[in-house]
Amino acid sequence: MNQRLQLKPDEPQFPWEGAERFAACNFAFGDLFRNLPAEMAFDGHIDVPTLLAAAGAIAGFAAQRALFAQADAWPAGMHIATTRAGQTFYFGDPLNNMLVPASRDDTPLRLWPLAAGAAASASVTPPDVAAMFAHVTTIIGHDSDFYPSPAGARPKLPCVELLKRAWPLARDCFDGKLSGKVLREEGVVPQRWRPVVAAYVAHYGLRQSQAALDAVTGVTVLMESAIYASKIDSKRIENA
């Protein structure tokens, strides 16, 4: 992800334009897009798989937090699983639908269509999203540290550790503590828009990464990280 973002005519426009606090969403998008690469640098170098995994993890975790924030009660169809190691994970269609749209109306608001669109922009067929969900489930079942499945594009840190490092920046961006502070309280991004902002950061990051990493691998790294991050117990991140 470069410091300067150049939008092209064929790229999707932001769906929050005209919505309440659209300016806060714009500030959060710009702040996260510009600052995440430096936050994810190791030894002064940006590792593309690590950066994409971080962007995906932020989007997935933000989707989980938005789902639970908007529900007055425990969402129907959601389940809690506890592994042998005592770790808690969330499963269910309501959570999956925060990443993969259940209806046409949700398409511009979900991560998977945007990630698939980045692959399509490189004229390649997107990877199988069902296989990515299966990979995540398998790793959770084995109680292993999570890494995306592409063997040649392993991030520098497992997903939980990567998210612990990336989420404080994302939260500050969403809370308007960077550029959004000029708006004061109006600079805070509503929960429902946070995963959408993160999904568009991921989309543009994928498109800019294609010179360094093939599109299918990039989408797989990002989406599998998002799926896993959406399922982890928030206490492991928010209280870290």
pTM of the model as a whole: 0.94
Return the pLDDT at 12.
62
Return the pLDDT at 227.
98
Q: What is the C-alpha radius of gyration for the chain, rounded to an integer number of angstroms?
A: 17
Q: Could you tell me the residue range of the domain that residue 54 belongs to?
A: 29-71+80-238
Residue 207 falls within a domain, yes or no?
yes
Residue 64 falls within a domain, yes or no?
yes
Residue 175 falls within a domain, yes or no?
yes
Residue 17 falls within a domain, yes or no?
no
All residue ranges of the chain with pLDDT < 70 are 1-12, 240
Q: Which residues contact 112 (CB under 8 A, 6 or more apart)?
A: 99, 100, 101, 129, 223
- Count of domains for the chain: 1
- Cα-based angle 233, 239, 240 (whole degrees, multiple of 5): 95
Residue 19 falls within a domain, yes or no?
no
Residue 12 falls within a domain, yes or no?
no
How many of the other CB atoms lie within 10 Å of CB of 231? 23
Cα separation, 38 vs 36, whole angstroms: 6
For 79-133, how does the pLDDT look when each residue is reduced to its tens digit (9 = 90+)? 999 999 999 999 999 999 999 999 999 999 999 999 999 999 999 999 999 999 9
Residue 11 falls within a domain, yes or no?
no
Return the pLDDT at 197.
98
Cα–chain center distance at 218: 13
Burial 157-182, CB ≥16 within 10 A → b, else e: bbbbebbebbbebbbbbbbbebbbee
Which tokens in the block code for residue 165? 């490092």
Residue 22 falls within a domain, yes or no?
no
Return the pLDDT at 228.
98
